[in-house]
């Protein structure tokens, strides 16, 4: 069974209980496959974007056909507004940055029997060329978003949710957790060789990958720690000027963009797309 998220933000939990840990979130328009149900209230789902498995309340999902699932998975636009309402026949529904608009024609889209109008800024994935400049522009849109474990929206986001969403809007797939993201890309041996747009991973006291952020120019990093913020980084880790101490110990830096760009549409995409997409941000 296939479903779509018809609400602004839906929690995905570790088990079928409201008191269970929130491991992720679904944003409006994101797709899932239901793999198990528990009574009438709970559904175990596999998220289409990152294959994360968790539990959501069944009444917070909307069933779609296999054909719709395939179509919506290939034809959609990303909302680029921090928060913007889509308008139904007699209601408004707020959606957040990174929400998906299925079969969006530039003004409208249809979901089930409802037609929605969207007047905010949106972009088709094929119109985004993943470059360091675009990655950083998207990342800065999340500045000051509060930290929320399991969060993926500007109203609450964790470190791996932040990196996943930034790269997702740039049409690059990353797993949900930092401990999984660290296996993507190529290792950068020294901080002096790191570039803007690289991912930096940090370990906890047990040596486990527990935090991730996106490198900026001039030895800075943007990451979610209390809020999405910009701090200084060196080969030891992240130095928090507010606290006057190192808060995260650096484990490894990974380069994502060149590896993926060599495999994608960048070689054939016209130069004016690269210029025009900057105007979106």
pLDDT tens profile 164-197: 999 999 999 999 999 999 999 999 999 999 999 9
Quote the pLDDT of residue 276: 59
The token duo for 141 is 């849109």
What is the b/e burial string over 102-141, where b = at least 16 CB atoms within 10 angstroms of the residue's CB? bebeeeebebeeeebebeeebbeeeebbbbbebbbbbbeb
Written out in words, the top-level CATH class of the domain with range 132-261 is: alpha beta
**24 falls in which pLDDT band (50, 70, 90)?**
very high
Q: Which residues pair with 117 in a beta bridge?
A: 87, 108
Q: What is the pTM of this model?
A: 0.93
Where exactly are the structural domains of the chain? 2-123, 132-261
Of all residues in the chain, the percent with pLDDT exceeding 70 is 91
Please check whether the two domains, 2-123 and 132-261, share a CATH topology. Answer: no
**Counting every residue, how long is the chain?**
281
Q: Say how far apart CA 2 and CA 25 lie, in whole Å.
A: 17
The helix (run of H) or strand (run of E) holding residue 211 is strand 209-216
Q: Say how far apart CA 121 and CA 118 lie, in whole Å.
A: 9
Quote the pLDDT of residue 269: 53
What pLDDT digit, counting tens, does each position of 47-105 carry? 999 999 999 999 999 999 999 999 999 999 999 999 999 999 899 999 999 999 999 99
Q: With contact defined as beta carbons under 8 Å apart, do 191 and 176 qualify?
A: no
Written out in words, the top-level CATH class of the domain with range 2-123 is: mainly beta
What is residue 200's three-state secondary structure? strand
What pLDDT digit, counting tens, does each position of 188-209 carry? 999 999 999 999 999 999 999 9
């Amino acid at each position: 069974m296939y479903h779509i998220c018809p609400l602004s933000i839906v929690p995905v939990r570790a088990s079928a209980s409201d008191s269970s840990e929130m491991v992720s979130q679904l944003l409006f328009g994101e797709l899932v496959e239901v793999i198990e149900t528990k009574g009438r209230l709970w559904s175990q789902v596999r998220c289409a974007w990152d294959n994360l498995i968790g539990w959501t309340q069944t009444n917070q999902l909307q069933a779609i056909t296999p054909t719709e699932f395939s179509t919506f998975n290939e034809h959609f636009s990303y909302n680029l507004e921090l928060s913007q309402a889509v308008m139904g026949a007699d209601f408004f529904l707020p959606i957040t940055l990174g929400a998906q608009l299925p079969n969006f024609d530039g003004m409208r889209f249809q979901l089930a029997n409802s037609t929605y109008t969207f007047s905010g800024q949106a972009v088709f994935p094929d119109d985004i060329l993943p470059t360091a400049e675009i990655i950083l522009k998207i990342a800065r849109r999340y500045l000051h978003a509060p930290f929320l474990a399991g969060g993926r929206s500007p109203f609450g986001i964790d470190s791996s949710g932040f990196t996943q969403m930034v790269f997702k809007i740039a049409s690059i797939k990353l797993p949900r957790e930092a401990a999984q993201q660290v296996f993507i890309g190529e290792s950068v041996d020294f901080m002096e060789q790191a570039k803007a747009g690289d991912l930096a991973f940090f370990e906890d006291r047990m040596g486990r990958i527990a935090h991730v952020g996106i490198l900026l120019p001039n030895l800075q990093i943007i990451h979610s720690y209390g809020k999405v913020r910009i701090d200084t980084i060196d080969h030891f880790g992240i130095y928090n000027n507010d606290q006057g101490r190192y808060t995260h110990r650096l484990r490894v830096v990974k380069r994502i963009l060149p590896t993926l760009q060599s495999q994608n549409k960048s070689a054939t995409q016209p130069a004016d797309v690269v210029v025009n997409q900057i105007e979106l941000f």
